[in-house]
Amino acid sequence: MTRDSGLGQSTPVDQDPIDAAIDAVLADMVSLARPVDLRARVLDRAGGPSRNAESGARTPLWRRPGSPGVGGRPAGIAGLGFKIAAAAAAVLVAALAWNRSAREPRRPENAAEQTAQVQPVQGSRPRAQVHGSTGARSTLDQGTSNLEPATRTRNLEPRTVNRDPLVSAAALELANQIPPLDTPQLDVPVLEPIVPLATADLSIAPIEIAPLDVDRSSIQ
């Protein structure tokens, strides 16, 4: 004798219909609609165990042919990550190389650049390096640069002011207007003091202050 459990299934009368309904639903929730066959998929992904033919040692799975990114198989996420890392490293190296080449003085390659160079003015000291934005070594740093003669020599070389010929020419013109340090800048006549300082009377006479003659009664 059976009873309807409420789920369209018949259950023995001695079973609580609520329990029967629960069992039916639970069985349905974990039942497989179709047969499962994972064997081929698993073995295809795992690649199968293999041994090194010469040493007999097991080859790590990630190095076996058939593993992602190995032996012609399309690279998976790991291969993609490696490519991204390699590309980032290449960009970083290129950026460093470009930055280094921008900081180093270029050798003049044509006549325009040769005319754009600042020539040291006669009688003056070599021009100090422009530091800061260019990232060049400071003068303090140069004191410790004895171990790098090439760098020190390079810093004393005339430098290209600007690679733009027009701007460089303007800068050259301005630079040529700067007089040498050991020549007087202006032709100012030297004036002799009227009274020699040694003989001048620097004493100050006492000042007498007369009392104010104010009619206090007029101030209200």
Q: Which residue has the tokens 């010929």?
A: 165
Residues 6+ apart with CB under 8 A from 75: 68, 69, 82, 83
If the CB atoms of residues 16 and 164 are measured against another protein, the closer one turns out to be 16
CA–CA distances in Å: residue 172 to residues 98, 116, 120, 162: 27, 6, 11, 10
Q: Which two tokens stand for residue 21?
A: 């309904």
The nearest distance, CB 95 to another protein, in angstroms, is 36
Q: Where are the beta strands (DSSP E) in the chain?
A: 2-4, 10-12
Rounded Cα gap, residues 4 and 10, in angstroms? 5
Name the residue nearer to another protein (CB basis): 41 or 154.
Answer: 41
Q: 21 or 169, CB closer to another protein?
A: 21
In the block, residue with structure tokens 């080449």: 101
H/E stretch holding 92 reads helix 77-103
Binding mask 49-88 for another protein (x = CB under 8 A): xxx------x--x---------------------------
Give the per-residue contact string, 13-42, with another protein (x = CB under 8 A; - = no).
---xxxx-xxxxxxxxxxxxx--xxxx-xx
Residue 147 CB, nearest approach to another protein (Å): 54
Could you tell me how many residues of this chain bind another protein (CB under 8 A)? 34
How far apart are CB 23 and another protein at their closest, in Å? 8
In this complex, which beta carbon is closest to another protein, that of residue 30 or of residue 219?
Answer: 30
Give the tokens for residue 15. 């079973």
Q: Which is nearer to another protein, 19 or 157 (CB)?
A: 19
Q: Residues interacting with another protein, by CB under 8 A?
A: 6-7, 16-19, 21-33, 36-39, 41-43, 45-46, 48-51, 58, 61
